[in-house]
């Protein structure tokens, strides 16, 4: 499979990460396709506008219920379906088996390395769904690449620091000393598109852990204070309180707190050492200039991005 000849189908293209992925595929020179179920004319105008934008960029838009037919026209499938839709990928896997021509499948993960971490029950359920998709992909005999992109920097910097609001207070989860990995969304999709057509990553997990994106909450806050010249009042939420909330809040409100616990208190993204057998994106693609957390904070300082609308639950 060569990059120049790849035809990439994006599933979930109108979602939070999907629109980034479409543009990354186009930028890399691939023939880019998106599969969208027929949209009601009364649907969200922004979604209709996004589809028109895709078409204007040269994206091939499939709007029908014949998934197998769409799959038969491409080589690579990248799923960016949102968390509530993850198990719908079981149908996608069956359709890829029927199509019989897919050379690489990247299921929707983009978070923790699910086979090497665990979480509080609400988050563990999400991890288990991702594992189910992995096992189903393997059982179907479809060539895959699993992407562990850890956390999105634009989303979580906004969530933690609220740079567009100039707040004087900040919430710290636990001690604030757990190391996390914050990767800029545009880098996540760029690495993913590279990996999708790279034979070195076939039937492997690729982990996005650039050195410049490993940081603690306290380090992030301190960096922001230095750049803004302001001192932020820190309010710590103890681990016990987060655990209790994960046990007492109703579904799906219990999911975000369980995710916060895993990332910012337990520190699962940095809970294991990478070995020579692991594939790490910034090492695999050293010529790609990723946006470090420090550089992203500079972006926020100059022109804070709009609050991210994705729900990480």
- Give catalytic residues, as residue numbers: 130
Q: Exposure pattern of 73-82 as b/e (b: 16+ CB <10 Å)? A: ebbbbbbbbb
By C-alpha distance, which of 82, 109, 92 is closest to 205? Answer: 109
In whole angstroms, what is the distance from residue 173 CA to residue 238 CA?
7
By C-alpha distance, which of 146, 148, 202, 192 is closest to 285? Answer: 192
166: left (phi over 0), alpha (psi -120 to 50) or beta: left
In whole angstroms, what is the distance from residue 180 CA to residue 174 CA?
13
Phi, psi values for residue 52, rounded to 5°: -60, -40
Q: Bridge-partner residues for 10, per DSSP?
A: 34, 78
């Amino acid at each position: 499979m060569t990059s120049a000849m790849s035809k990439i189908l994006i599933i979930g293209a109108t979602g939070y990460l999907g629109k980034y992925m479409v543009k990354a595929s186009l930028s890399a020179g691939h023939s880019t396709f998106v599969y969208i179920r027929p949209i009601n004319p009364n649907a969200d105008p922004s979604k209709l506008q996004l589809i028109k934008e895709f078409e204007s960029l040269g994206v091939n838009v499939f709007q029908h219920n014949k998934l197998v037919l769409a799959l038969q026209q491409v080589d690579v499938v990248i799923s960016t379906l949102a968390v509530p839709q993850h198990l719908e990928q079981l149908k996608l896997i069956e359709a890829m088996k029927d199509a019989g021509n897919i050379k690489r499948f990247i299921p929707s993960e983009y978070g923790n390395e699910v086979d090497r971490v665990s979480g509080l029950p609400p988050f563990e359920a999400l991890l288990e769904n991702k594992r189910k998709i992995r096992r189903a992909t393997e059982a179907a005999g479809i060539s895959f690449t699993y992407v562990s992109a850890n956390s999105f920097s634009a989303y979580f910097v906004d969530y933690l620091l609220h740079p567009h609001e100039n707040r004087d207070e900040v919430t710290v989860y636990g001690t604030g000393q757990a190391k996390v990995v914050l990767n800029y969304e545009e880098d996540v999709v760029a690495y993913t598109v590279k990996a999708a057509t790279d034979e070195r990553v076939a039937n492997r997990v690729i982990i996005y852990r650039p050195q410049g994106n490993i940081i603690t909450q306290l380090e992030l806050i301190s960096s922001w204070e230095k750049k803004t010249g302001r001192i932020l009042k820190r309010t710590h939420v103890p681990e016990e309180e987060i655990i209790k909330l994960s046990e007492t809040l109703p579904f799906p409100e219990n999911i975000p707190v369980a995710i916060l616990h895993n990332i910012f208190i337990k520190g699962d993204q940095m809970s294991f050492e990478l070995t020579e057998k692991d594939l790490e994106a910034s090492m695999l693609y050293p010529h790609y200039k990723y946006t470090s957390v420090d550089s992203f904070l500079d972006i926020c300082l100059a022109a804070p991005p709009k609050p991210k609308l994705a729900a990480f639950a």
